[in-house]
Amino acid sequence: MGDRAGKAGPNIRGGGGIGHGPSGQTTPTRTGTLPLLATALRRRWVSGVAIVTVLDAEGGFRGVSVSSVVIVSIEPPIVAVALSADGSVHRRFELGTAFTVNVLDRSQTFLAERFAGRAPVPDATFTGVPHRVHATGLPVIEDALGWCVAAVTRVIPAGDHVLILGAIGDGAMTDDTDDPLVTYEGRFRSLEAE
Ligand SMILES: Cc1cc2nc3c(=O)[nH]c(=O)nc-3n(C[C@H](O)[C@H](O)[C@H](O)COP(=O)(O)O)c2cc1C
C-alpha cells in the first residue's frame, strides 16, 4: 500500500452552505463542490475490481471494468453494479438480461486496463482474453477469483449512473490467491499481508 507522507488530500467540504470544521465549528462552504466531494469519497473508498460481461445486440461479448460491485443480499443472492449513464454498456442491461461479474486477481490487472478502454488494445471484445462460455452464452473470465451470473431485476437511474440489480443464478469461486486486485485513490494496489 502507498505511503501517506506528503500526500495532501483534497480539502473538500460540501453542503448547501454549512460545513463542520476540524474543531466542530460551522463554516460557510461554496455550493458546487459536492461532485468533487463525491469523486474524492469514491477514490477514498477502497474496493476490488471486477469485469462485468454482457451480450451486445448482435450476441457479441461486451466487458466493462467496474469497482462498484455490491453483494446487496445473501438470501436471495442479489448483486448490484453502478454503471455510468454516459457510457454505452448500461443500455445492454434490460430486465431479465443476464450478466456476469468476475472478481479479478492482481495478476489480471491487464484485464482491468483493457476493459476500461485503457489497454493497448482498447476494445471490449474478448480476443485474446482467457474465458469460457457459460450456458447463458456469456463469457466468464478464466481464473477470476470468483464469478457469478445474474439476471437483471431492476434498473434504477441514479444521477449520472444507472444502478443495476441482478438476481444471482450461478457462480463459483476459484482458489484464493490472497492477492485480489484492489483500487484506491485511482491506482491499482495489492493487499498488504499481516
Ligand atoms: C478500476 C476501475 C473501476 C471502474 N469502475 C467503474 C464502475 O464501477 N462503473 C462504471 O460505469 N465505470 C467504471 N470504470 C470505467 C469503465 O471501465 C470505462 O469507462 C469503460 O470504458 C466504460 O465502457 P462503456 O463506455 O462501454 O460503458 C472503472 C474503471 C476502472 C479502471
Supply the pTM of this predicted model. Answer: 0.86
Non-local CB neighbours of 67 within 8 Å, separated by 6+ positions: 47, 48, 49, 50, 183
Percent of the chain past pLDDT 70, that is, above it, reads: 79
pLDDT at 118: 78
Q: Name the residue ranges covered by the structural domains of the chain.
A: 47-189
Nearest to 57 by CA among 102, 94, 87: 94
Protein residue with its CA nearest to atom 31 in ligand 1: 116
Residue whose entry in the numeric block shows the C-alpha cell 483534497: 10
Look at residue 113 and give its three-state secondary structure.
helix
Distance (angstroms) between ligand 1 centre and the Cα of 126 equals 16
Mean residue pLDDT of the chain comes to: 86
50-55/98-103 β-pairing: antiparallel
Tell me the pLDDT band of 15, cut-offs 50, 70 and 90: very low
Rounded to the nearest 5°, which phi and psi values hold at 36? -65, -40
78-84/161-173 β-pairing: antiparallel
Euclidean distance between the first and final Cα of the chain, in Å? 12
Contact 181, 49 (CB under 8 A): yes
Closest ligand 1 atom to 112 CA? 31
Closest ligand 1 atom to 68 CA? 8
pLDDT at 18: 38
Ligand 1 binding residues, C-beta < 6 A: 49, 64-68, 82-84, 87-89, 112, 115-117, 183
Distance (angstroms) between ligand 1 centre and the Cα of 34 equals 21
For domain 47-189, give the CATH number.
2.30.110.10
| Strand partners for 17 | none
94-146: pLDDT as tens digits: 999 999 999 999 999 999 999 998 766 556 568 889 999 999 999 999 999 99
**Which of 84, 162, 181 has the most ligand 1 atoms within 8 A of CB, as the residue to mutate?**
84
Distance (angstroms) between ligand 1 centre and the Cα of 31 equals 27
Q: Which residue has the higher pLDDT, 19 or 71?
A: 71
C-alpha cell of residue 141? 473470465
